[in-house]
Structure 1
Amino acid sequence: MFNLKRISISKKMIVINSPIILVLVIALFIIISIYASKSAENSARLSIDQAGYLVESSFDNLLGQLKRNTESSMGVFKYFLESYYGSFSEFDIRGKTEQGYPAYYLYDNLITGETAVLDRFTDTTHDIATIFARDGQDFIRVTTSLKDENGKRAIWTKLDRNHPAYNLVLEGKTYIGKATLFGNDYLTFYDPIKDSSNNVTGILFIGYNLKPAYEVLKESVGKIKIGTNGYVTAIDKKKDIFTIGNYDYKPSSLPYAKELKDNSIIRYTYKGDKFIAKDIYNQDLGWNIIINAIENDYIKDILTLRTIMFIGIIIFILIFFTTVNIVIRMAVVLPLHKLTTSIFKFFDYISHKSSNEMTVYKPSGKDELVEISEAINEQMKKLQAGLREDNNLIEESLKVSEKVKKGYLDVAISSSTNNPALNSLKDNINDTFANLSATMQNILSVVEKYSANDFRDSIDAGSLEGELLAVINGINLMGSRIREMLHTSMNTCENLMGASNELKNHVDTLQSSAETQSHNLEKNIASLDHLNQSMEQVNLRAKDVVEHSEAIRNIIDVIHDVADQTDLLALNAAIEAARAGEHGRGFAVVADEVRKLAERTQKNLQEISSNTNSLVEAINDMDRAITAQTTEMQEMHNSILELQSVTESTVHVAVSTKEVSDKVNQISTDIMNDASSKEF
C-alpha cells in the first residue's frame, strides 16, 4: 500500500501537486470537450440549415416545375379531346345511360364509357386522364385511363366529397395536389367543366406521374452531403416508407419517428454514430424531409486539436515536474539531508550510541533552513547541558537503587536537574523510599511482637495500595488468624479435656462390665460342663433302664401277667424320665411312678407288659433326644467360649483406650498451657 510518509520531499511535492495539475488538466480537457461539442453542434446546425435551404429550394423548384408540367399536360389532354371530338368545351349531360350513369356528351359525341382518347393520351404522355360527369351533388368517373393493380379500369366511381378538390370544383375553381392512386403517386389537376350558364357539369382530371420526378429528387437530393458523411432522407408517414434513402426497414421503427415536427431538431444514435437532424415538412408531397448530420464529421478537427493540446499539456507537466524535482533536490532536499544527518548523529549522542557532542549542519544563506539549523543548535546546547545534569541524577539514583537492593530504605536522592519530569520523579522516589521505610518500621515492630508471642497488635495500612497493602493485609490477616486459632485451640482443648475425662469414665465402666461379664461367662461354662456330665449320666442310666426292661420282658415271657405289669411300670418310668429332661428331677418322679406301677402290676400284669414295651421305645427316643441335646449344649459351650474371648478382647481394648485417653488428656493440657502463655 502506498504510504506518503515513506517517500522523499521532492516526491511528496510531486505527489501533492499531481492532483492539482491533474484537476487542471481534467478541467481543461472538459472545457475543450465542451467547446468542441458546442462548436461541432453549431457547425452541424449551420450545415443542416444550409442543406435544408438547398433541399427546400430544390423541392420548391421541382414542385413549381411539376405544377407547370401538370398544367401543360392538361393542355395536351384538351388538345387530344379537341383533335378527336372537334371541341373540348361543349359538354352537356343528356339523361342516363342504360346502366344508369350520366350520359355525358362532348360536341354531340357520347363520351361516357369511351376510353380510346384517354388511353391514347396516357400512352403518349404517361399521365392518366379522367372525365367526371356531375350527377346531382356527386361527380362520377364516366371515362378514365386509370387502372388498378390488376389492370381493371377504375370507372363509375365517385369523387369523395371529403376530397380537397370537391368544394373547389363546385365553386368553379381548379385544384392541384398530390394523390396516391393504386400505389402510384400523381400530381393531380382538377379542372371544372362549365356549361353556357356557367354551371359546373363535370371535371377534367389529369394525374401527372411523379415517379420520374422522384427519381430526379433521389438523384439530386441524395447527392447532397451534410458535412463528410451526413445525408438527406425523406419519409412518407402515410405509406410508412422512405421516399429518399434506400432502407430495408420502416420509418415507424425509428426512435425519432414520433417526434417529427416541421423545423424541429432531432438527436438520435444509429449504428454507433450520433446524429443531429432537422425535420422539414413538405406539404405538397406530404413528406418529412430529414437533414442528417453526424457529429463526428464536425468534431474530428476539434478532437485533433484537443489531442494536440492534451499531448502538449502532458509534455508541459513532465517538464514541470522534472524541473521542480531538480530545484527541490538542489535547494531543499540536499540541505535537508545534511541537516538530518547531523541531527541523527546528535540523536545517536542522546541515545548513547555516540559520546561525541556536536552541532548540526548550517547551510549558507538566510532562508528558513538556516533559521531552523540555528534554532536546533541552540536547543542542542541546552539539551547537552540538561543531559549532563540528567546523567548525574541518574548515576546517583543508581547508587541509591543499589542500597535499596541491599535492604537500606532510609536513603534519598540529593541531585537535581532542569528536567521537571526527572525532578518530579526524584521527589516521588524519595517520598516513596521515606514512606516505604516508615511502613517497614511499622511492619517490623508488629512482627517482633508476633515473634514474642504477642498477637494483640495489627499494622495500620493508611493510604497504601498495591502489593505493599497486600503484604500488610496478609500480616494483619495472619495475626487475626493466629488469634482466632489460639481462641479455637483454647476452646478445643477445654472441650477435648472434658471429652477425654468422660471417655476415661466410660472406659472404666466398660472395663468393669467386661470383667464382670467374663466372670459370669466362666460360671456359665462350668454350669454347662456340669449339666453336660449330668446328661451323660442320664443317658447311661437310660441305657441301664433299657437293659433292665429287657430283663423284665424276659421275666414277663415266663410270667405273662407279672411281665405285663412290669413293662407298664418301666414304660411309665421312662416317660417321666423323658419329661424330667436336664433338670434331673425325673428320676424321682419315675421312682414314684414305678412304685405306683408296682402296686398296679399286682393288679394287672397285662398292663405292665404293654407299658414295658412302650417304655423301651420311649427310652430309646429319650436316648436320641439326649444325644441331640448334648450336641447343642456342646455348641452352646463353644459359643460361650468365643464370647469369653471377645469379652477378653474388649477388656484389652478398654485398657488401650484408657491409655489413649490419658495421652489425649495430657496433650490437651500441654496445648492449653502453651496457649495460655501467649497474649492475644
Structure 2
Amino acid sequence: MDFLKKSVIAKVIFVSIISIIISMSILTYLVVSNTSKAMKNSNEMSISKELSLLVENINTFNKVAKTGANVNGDIFLNMVDGIKINKNQSVKVGEFETPALLIDNEVVNLNFKIVDEFTKMTKGSVATIFVRKGDDFIRVSTSLKKEDGNRAIGTKLDISHPGYKKVLEGETYLGKAVLFGKSYMTKYIPIKQDGEVIAIAFIGSDISEDLAHLTETINSKKIGKTGYYYIIDSNEKSKKYGYFLVHPKLKDKSALELVDTNGVSFVKEMLTKKEGQLNYLWEGLDKFVFFKTYEEWNWLIVGGVSSNEIFEEANKIMYLIIILSIITVLIISISIFISMKVLLKSLTNIKNGLLSFFQYLNRETNSINKIDINSEDEFGVMAKQINENIEKIEKTVKDDRKLIDETIIVLNEFEQGDLCQRLNVSVDNPALMELKTVLNKMADNLETNIEIILNILEQYSNYNYLNKIPTKDLKAHLLKLANGVNTLGGSITEMLVENKSMGLTLDETSNDLLKNVDNLNHSSTEAASSLEQTAAALEEITSNIRNTTENIAKMATFSNEVTKSAVDGEKLATQTTTAMEDINTQVSAINEAITVIDQIAFQTNILSLNAAVEAATAGEAGKGFAVVAQEVRNLASRSAEAAREIKAIVENATSKANQGKEIASNMIQGYKQLNENISNTTKLIFDVENASKEQLLGIEQINDAINRLDQQTQQNAMIASEAKNVAIITDEISKLVVSSANKKEFEGKDNVKAKNVTTNEKKVEEKILKDKTEYNSIKKHQEDDWESF
C-alpha cells in the first residue's frame, strides 16, 4: 500500500488493471450468463419436446391397441350373437348360483368352447362372458387364466372398475388393464335382451410384450450423461399409487416418501400438478425435471437431469474467457509499466529537485540540489524555470531569516515581560519591513498603557479607589483592560457603599430582631405545651375508637354466621317441601292403585253374580260352583270395603302432606324474609364498620399530624433559642462592617445612611400575627373534635 501511495506508475497500473478486470468480469458474466440461459432453454425445450414425443408415442400405442381390441371385440360379439338368459334356470359357478345363458339352447355357463375358440382364432387374446345377477356381473365362461394356470371363473366384476358403471348403463368400455400379472387392452361390451343388460362380452388383447418393449425403450432413453425418464402410477384408487412403474433403479418402489435436501416431497407435488416443470436438490445436485400425465393410463411421465450437465459447456467457456482475460490484463499492465517508466523518469528528477528545495525551506538542509534535466521537451523547460526561481527564493530566504531570527528574540523578551526591546535589522522584503514597524509601534503603545494601568492598580492596592484610567485612543483588548480596571474600581466602591449601608442597617435592626426572637421563643414554648396536652387527649380518643371498631368487626362476624344459619334453614325447609311433594306423589300412586283394586273388586263381584246365575241354571250340578261364587262375591265385598278404608286413610294422608307442604312453604318465605332482614342488618353493620375504620384512620392521621406538629414546635423553640444567639452575633458583625468601611477611601463615604427597613419590620410582625392566628385556629379545631368524640 505504501508503494501504491508513493508511485504514480503503480497508481496508473492499478487503475488500469482494475478497469480491465471489471470490464472483463462484466463481459465474462454476460457471455456465461447468456450462454447458460441459451443452453438451459435449449435443454429444457429439448426435454419438453422429447417428453411430449414420448406421450404421443404412448398415445399412438394406446390407439393401435384399442383398434386391435375393437376388431377382436367385434369378432367375439359375432360369436356370441343370439345369446339369451333364462332366469328360471340356474347354474352354480364357483360359489354363486347364476342364471343360465343360452346360445341356440346350449348353456354357456361353465362351457368354454366359444371363449377357447376365440383365443385360438386371435392367437392369444382372451375372452370372458359375464352374466348379470342383480347389480353383479359374474364370470361364467372365460379363457383368461390365473398365474397358477386355472381359469379365472366364478368371480365378480369389481364395482370400482372404471368399466363397471359404463356397462351397467349399456355403454361399451375400452381401456388398458392388468389381469393376473399381464397387461391387456380390454373391451367390455354390454349384451341386452328386451332393452335390459343381461350379460357382458369381454375380450382382452395381450399387449404385455409390446408394452414391455415400450417401457424398456423409455427406460433406456438418456438425457445428457446422467439424465433419464421414469414413470409413476398416478391412479389414486390404485394400490400402486405413487409407485415407480419405470425407473432405472427404483422400479416397483414407492416414490411418495421421497424428499429432497430441503425436505420437499417433490413427487407428491408433481402428482398434484400433473404437468409442468420442477427444480429440487437431490444428493447435493440441483436437478430440474419436466413431467406430464397421460390421463388414460394414469401414468406420470417424468424426464429429469442435473443442472451441472447443462452448465458444463458454459463453465468451460467461462474458464477460457477468464484465462484470456488474465493474459490480457498481464500484457496491458506490462506495456503500461514500461511506458510509464520511460515517460516518468524526468518527473522523478523534478520531484527530487523540489524535495531538496523544500528541505532547504524547512531548514532540514543548508544547500539546494538543482534539477538535472537537459532535454528540450516540456519537462526540460519546466526544470529550467524551476531552477531560476529557486535561486531567487534562496537569496530572499537568507535575508528574511535574519529579520525573523531577530523578531523571535524580541518576542521572546516580550513573552518574559520586557517591553523595552525593538527590531533593528532591515531587509528588501516590504512585507517584513512593515511587520517590523508595526511590532515596534505595538511595543511602544503597550509599554505606555501598561505603565498607566499599573499605577492605578497600585492606588487600588492602597484602598484608594478615587482615580480612573483614561480610555481615549484605546481599542480592542487594551480598551477592555482599561474599562475592566475602571469597572473594578467602580464595583469595589459600590460594594463598600453597600457594605457600610448594610452595616448601619444591621446595627439599627439588631435590637428589633432580639426583641422579636424573645417573643418567638415564648410563643414556641407555649405552643409546645398545648400540643403535648392535645396529643395525649387524641391518643385516648384513638384508643376508644379502635376498641369500637374491633367490636363492630365482631358484630359483622356474628351477623355473617346468623345469615349462614338462616340460609341453611331455608335449604332444609326447601328439602322438606320437596319431600312432601314426593310423599304426595307416592300417595297419589297408592290412590290410583286402590282405585284399580276397587275396580277389580267390582268386576269380581259381577263375575261372581254371573257365576251364581250360571250355577243356578245348572241346577244340582252347579251347587258346588254356587258356593264358590258366593265366597268370591264375599271376598270382592271385603276387598271393596278395605279399598274404601285405605282410600280414606290415603286422602287424609294427602291432606296432611299438603298442610305440611304449605307450612314448609310458609317457612321458606319466613326464612327468606329473615335472610333479607339479616342481610340489611349486616349491610348496616358493614357500613358502620367501614365508617368506624375510616374514622379511626382519620383520628390516627390527626394524631400523627399533632405528633409531627409537636415535634416541629419543639424544633421551632430550639431554633428560636439559636436565632437569639445569631441575632447577638449579627449585631456585633454589623458594627465590624461599618468600622471596616470607614477605614477605606471611596466616593460618597460620608453620605452613606442606613436603609429604611420599616416595611420589612411590618412584614415580620404581620407574619408573627398570622402564625399566632393559625395556631389558635388549629387549637380550637382540635378542642371541638375532642368534644365531639
Q: Is the shorter-chain TM-score for this pair beyond 0.5, marking a shared fold?
A: yes
**Corresponding residue SS for 2:393:** helix
How far residue 249 of structure 1 moved from its aligned partner, in angstroms, is 4.0
2:183–2:207 Cα contact (<8 Å) kept = yes
How far residue 230 of structure 1 moved from its aligned partner, in angstroms, is 1.7
Give the match for residue 243 of structure 2. 241
1:44–1:276 Cα contact (<8 Å) kept = no
Give the match for residue 283 of structure 1. 295
Q: C-alpha separation between the residues in 2 aligned to 1:190 and 1:210?
A: 17
Output the amino acid matched with 2:255.
K
How far residue 307 of structure 1 moved from its aligned partner, in angstroms, is 0.9
**Corresponding residue SS for 1:293:** strand
**Structure 1 residues 559-597: Cα deviation after superposition (integer angstroms, max 9, x where no partner):** xxxxxxxxxxxxxxxxxxxxxxxxxxxxxxxxxxxxxxx
Give the match for residue 80 of structure 2. 88
Larger Rg: 1
- Residue 16 (structure 1) aligned with residue 15 (structure 2): yes
More divergent stretch after superposition (334-343 vs 124-133): 124-133
**Corresponding residue SS for 1:222:** helix
2:356–2:368 Cα contact (<8 Å) kept = no
1:256–1:266 Cα contact (<8 Å) kept = no
Distance 1:353 1:192, change over 3 A: closer
TM-score by length of 1: 0.57
Q: C-alpha separation between the residues in 1 aligned to 2:398 and 2:233?
A: 104
Give the match for residue 131 of structure 1. 129
How far residue 103 of structure 1 moved from its aligned partner, in angstroms, is 1.4
TM-score by length of 2: 0.50
- Residue 268 (structure 1) aligned with residue 268 (structure 2): no
1:138–1:161 Cα contact (<8 Å) kept = no
Q: C-alpha separation between the residues in 1 aligned to 2:6 and 2:298?
A: 74
- Residue 326 (structure 1) aligned with residue 338 (structure 2): yes
- Residue 411 (structure 1) aligned with residue 422 (structure 2): yes
Q: C-alpha separation between the residues in 2 aligned to 1:98 and 1:186?
A: 31
Q: C-alpha separation between the residues in 1 aligned to 2:206 and 2:401?
A: 119
1:44–1:295 Cα contact (<8 Å) kept = no
More divergent stretch after superposition (455-464 vs 125-134): 455-464
Structure 2 counterpart of 1:380, from 376, 390, 398: 390
Distance 1:374 1:177, change over 3 A: farther
**Structure 1 residues 339-382: Cα deviation after superposition (integer angstroms, max 9, x where no partner):** 11111111122123334356434473545x56754664565356
Q: C-alpha separation between the residues in 1 aligned to 2:306 and 2:464?
A: 115
- Residue 292 (structure 1) aligned with residue 292 (structure 2): no
- Residue 390 (structure 1) aligned with residue 400 (structure 2): yes
Distance 1:198 1:353, change over 3 A: closer
1:141–1:156 Cα contact (<8 Å) kept = yes
Q: C-alpha separation between the residues in 2 aligned to 1:76 and 1:192?
A: 15
How far residue 27 of structure 1 moved from its aligned partner, in angstroms, is 1.3
Q: C-alpha separation between the residues in 1 aligned to 2:383 and 2:357?
A: 13
Q: C-alpha separation between the residues in 1 aligned to 2:4 and 2:160?
A: 91
- Residue 360 (structure 1) aligned with residue 371 (structure 2): yes
Q: C-alpha separation between the residues in 2 aligned to 1:8 and 1:43?
A: 51
**Structure 1 residues 120-150: Cα deviation after superposition (integer angstroms, max 9, x where no partner):** 9889977653212356887554444668899
Count residues in correspondence.
476
Structure 1 counterpart of 2:444, from 434, 437, 455: 434
More divergent stretch after superposition (22-31 vs 338-347): 22-31
| Unaligned 5+ runs, structure 1 | 489-674
Output the amino acid matched with 2:86.
R
Distance 1:274 1:358, change over 3 A: closer
Output the amino acid matched with 1:322.
I
Give the match for residue 52 of structure 1. 51
Q: C-alpha separation between the residues in 2 aligned to 1:373 and 1:308?
A: 49
1:191–1:205 Cα contact (<8 Å) kept = yes
Distance 1:361 1:233, change over 3 A: same
Q: C-alpha separation between the residues in 1 aligned to 2:334 and 2:32?
A: 28
Q: C-alpha separation between the residues in 1 aligned to 2:69 and 2:475?
A: 127
**Structure 1 residues 62-111: Cα deviation after superposition (integer angstroms, max 9, x where no partner):** 33453355457658868xxx9xxxx6323111224447633111332222
RMSD: 5.1
- Residues 141-220 of structure 1: pairs in structure 2 closer than 5 A: 141-144=139-142, 153=152, 155=154, 157=156, 160=159, 163-164=162-163, 166-167=165-166, 174-180=172-178, 185-193=183-191, 201-220=198-217
How far residue 386 of structure 1 moved from its aligned partner, in angstroms, is 4.1
More divergent stretch after superposition (162-171 vs 274-283): 162-171
1:66–1:187 Cα contact (<8 Å) kept = yes
Output the amino acid matched with 1:394.
I
How far residue 177 of structure 1 moved from its aligned partner, in angstroms, is 0.6
1:47–1:227 Cα contact (<8 Å) kept = no
1:230–1:293 Cα contact (<8 Å) kept = yes
**Structure 1 residues 626-661: Cα deviation after superposition (integer angstroms, max 9, x where no partner):** xxxxxxxxxxxxxxxxxxxxxxxxxxxxxxxxxxxx
1:275–1:293 Cα contact (<8 Å) kept = yes
What is the aligned-residue identity percentage?
23
How far residue 305 of structure 1 moved from its aligned partner, in angstroms, is 1.9
- Residue 308 (structure 1) aligned with residue 320 (structure 2): yes
Distance 1:448 1:220, change over 3 A: closer
**Structure 1 residues 199-223: Cα deviation after superposition (integer angstroms, max 9, x where no partner):** 8643211234554444222321111
Distance 1:413 1:460, change over 3 A: farther
Q: C-alpha separation between the residues in 1 aligned to 2:49 and 2:146?
A: 41
Q: C-alpha separation between the residues in 1 aligned to 2:244 and 2:160?
A: 30
**Which has the higher relative contact order, 1 or 2, with Cα contacts under 8 A spaced 6 or more apart?**
2
Give the match for residue 566 of structure 1. none
- Residues 627-646 of structure 1: pairs in structure 2 closer than 5 A: none
Q: C-alpha separation between the residues in 2 aligned to 1:300 and 1:454?
A: 106
Q: C-alpha separation between the residues in 1 aligned to 2:438 and 2:234?
A: 102
Distance 1:70 1:303, change over 3 A: same
